[in-house]
Amino acid sequence: MKPKKTKPIKPASSRKRQFLRERQFWFISIVALAFLLVFYFVPMLGNYMAFINYKPRKGILESDFVGLEFFQKFFSLPDVWNVLRNTLVMGTINITIGFVAPIVLALMLNELRLMKVKKVVQTVSYLPHFVSWVVVASIARSLFATDGVVNELLVKAGALEKPYGFLSTGGTYWVFISILNLWKTVGWGSIIYMSAIAGVDHELYEAGAVDGVGRWGRIRHIILPGISTTIIMLFILGAGGIINGGFEQHLLLGNATTREYYETIDTYVYAYGLEMGQYSFATAVSLLKGIISITLVIITNALSRRFSDSSVF
């Protein structure tokens, strides 16, 4: 007897059976999917405001279409290059020092052998992440204002003849904000690297010990190659952050004397959108920033895929 020919499984029926097998996971994910849809995708329709002269009394549909007028207006403003400079400088600091510091902290924590000390250091380094910028700004003003504790101690100790304006001197503003950003984010950013280090095969450590590899050699030849995929992935995803110069910290700590140094794209959008009521212009600038961020991520991902085996997509 000839064996009966089995009918090929149609792709549609195969997908249907797969969905039925995974239906519990899909039902569980409905809330997360609805959240993404309502709060992330639907608001993207508001980007249409960048191409119209939006008037609240007319609404979006009846406002006049102006095309790229507000994009051109942004680049024609006299202070736009200063805004771009501040954004790029602080964004570059965040993506270089702010990216490397969590890796260094994770490596240092991994080398600690006293578990109690390690847990204390981890807890202390994580805590600033949960402190709002409002509280951080209040503490910073109390400590570093011209009549603050730090100036008072430095003057009494003879290190300064008169109080120094840490918060009102433009030349030191970038350094001051960068230190605060680093203090607030370094501990939390090291968590994922600690997890990646924990996943490195312990047999590699044993093999390294047999070959006489010391601590520095273990970090260089075992740990860093073992977490290189995680490092590359996070760098790709964070590449768009080069034009994120910060927002809350500048609104809370910036003042008239440091405006030339703290004005970034985010504060620019806030000023024009909410304070001046130029909603279409603010939307255009925000949309332009988003396009640049996505472009940077795509370029970084393409370079990573070309020169290494790791990429996000």
Decide if pLDDT at 216 tops 90: no
The Cα diameter of the chain in Å comes to 106
Mean pLDDT score, 235-240: 86
Q: How far apart are CA 61 and CA 93, in angstroms?
A: 41
Please, which pLDDT band fits residue 4 given cuts at 50, 70 and 90?
Answer: low
Q: Which of 276, 254, 293, 288 is nearest to 80 (CA)?
A: 288
Q: Rounded to the nearest 10 degrees, what angle do helices 69-76 and 80-111 cross at?
A: 90
The type of residue at 247 is F
- Look up tokens 């993404």; give the residue: 36
Q: How far apart are CA 63 and CA 55, in angstroms?
A: 6
Mean pLDDT score, 32-59: 88
The domain 57-307 having CATH identifier 3.40.640.10: the answer here is no
Q: Which of 145, 177, 178 is nearest to 164 (CA)?
A: 145
Q: How far apart are CA 223 and CA 231, in angstroms?
A: 12
Q: How far apart are CA 227 and CA 21, in angstroms?
A: 34
Beta bridge partners of 64: 53
Decide if pLDDT at 139 tops 60: yes
> What would the two tokens of residue 295 be?
């472009």
Please, which pLDDT band fits residue 2 given cuts at 50, 70 and 90?
Answer: low
Please report, in angstroms and rounded to a whole number, the separation of the first and last CA atoms in the chain.
51
CA distances from 217 to 211, 220, 221, 223, 285 (A): 10, 5, 6, 9, 48
Based on DSSP, count helices (H) and strands (E) in the chain, helices before strands.
Answer: 16, 2
Greater confidence (205 vs 194) lies with 194
This prediction's pTM = 0.81
Q: How far apart are CA 251 and CA 245, in angstroms?
A: 12
Q: Where are the alpha helices (DSSP H) in 211-312?
A: 215-218, 224-226, 228-238, 248-253, 259-262, 265-270, 279-307
Q: How far apart are CA 111 and CA 118, in angstroms?
A: 9
With beta carbons less than 8 A apart as the criterion, state whether 66 and 51 touch.
Answer: yes
Phi and psi, residue 165, nearest 5° = -85, 80
Q: Domain coordinates of the chain in residue numbers?
A: 57-307
Residue 111 has what DSSP assignment?
Answer: H
Least confident of 5-19, 31-45, 215-229: 5-19
Decide if pLDDT at 313 tops 80: no
